[in-house]
Amino acid sequence: MAGRLKGKVAVVTAAGAGIGRAIAEAFVAEGATVYATDLNRDALEGIAKAKKSKLDVLNDKAVAKFAEKVGTIDILVNAAGFVHHGSILECDDKAWDFSFDLNVKSMHRMTKAFLPGMLTAGKGSIVNIASGAGSVRGIPNRYVYGATKAAVIGLTKAIAADFIKKGVRANAICPGTIQSPSLDQRIADQAKASGQTLEAVRQAFIDRQPMGRLGKAEEIAMLAVYLGSDEASYTTGQIHLADGGFAL
């Protein structure tokens, strides 16, 4: 199929790399007008035909100003996030506050800014990137990350329930471990901290995937295309696992 998002306007956060970038590129390929945003504007280069903007999703005023400039949209993809490693014993107040601000409150900010336009139009799809870690499955050393992603699922379901009769849908995608620049950096950090080789740390990530491989950002992007499209018009308030069997 082609043109699945033709005529739709979409905003994607954290589109500079990884899942966010793959979603932005897939949306463009399917015919959407895409506003690709990232804290690092230069990282957005190469996303053909996308409208590129620097956006700090931690800044209320910046988000409100951006939403005012863009106007009414059909699809909002909240992909910005951060993975904190460690148990409760390694999570200080700074790590807790930052994780919740970026992983959860940024979605609150973006949704609150764009939802009124969707309600006026009587239609819209919100796609939030959650995780297989959190309320789906407890993962060692992902204490605050899991807490934030569980909150994302709760936030998504609440939005879906509140506006289910007003044409606005909200769904969460829960990826497994996805190959991305973020993962590469986390592997490097863990190898340095533990004294293990990069290969050993990477293999540990692979070994916990029942399929025996890491996921691809493009595999998550195609699920986002579905949820943003009219094909998913009867789907809202759900978690969608794309995890290679991680939650089995």
Is the Cα torsion angle 141, 143, 144, 146 positive or negative in sign? positive
Instruction: Please give the structure tokens belonging to residue 213.
Output: 């491989």
Q: How far apart are CA 66 and CA 89, in angstroms?
A: 38
Give the count of alpha carbons within 13 A of 228, CB side only: 35
Instruction: Please give the structure tokens belonging to residue 8.
Output: 């739709």
Phi, psi for 100 (deg, rounded to 5): -70, -35
Q: Which of 84, 57, 2, 30 is nearest to 22 (CA)?
A: 30
CB-count exposure of residue 194 (10 Å: 0-12, 13-18, 19+): exposed
Contact 130, 173 (CB under 8 A): yes
31: left (phi over 0), alpha (psi -120 to 50) or beta: left
Q: How far apart are CA 150 and CA 154, in angstroms?
A: 6
> CB count, 10 Å around CB of 122?
9
Phi, psi for 34 (deg, rounded to 5): -115, 125
What residues act catalytically? 145
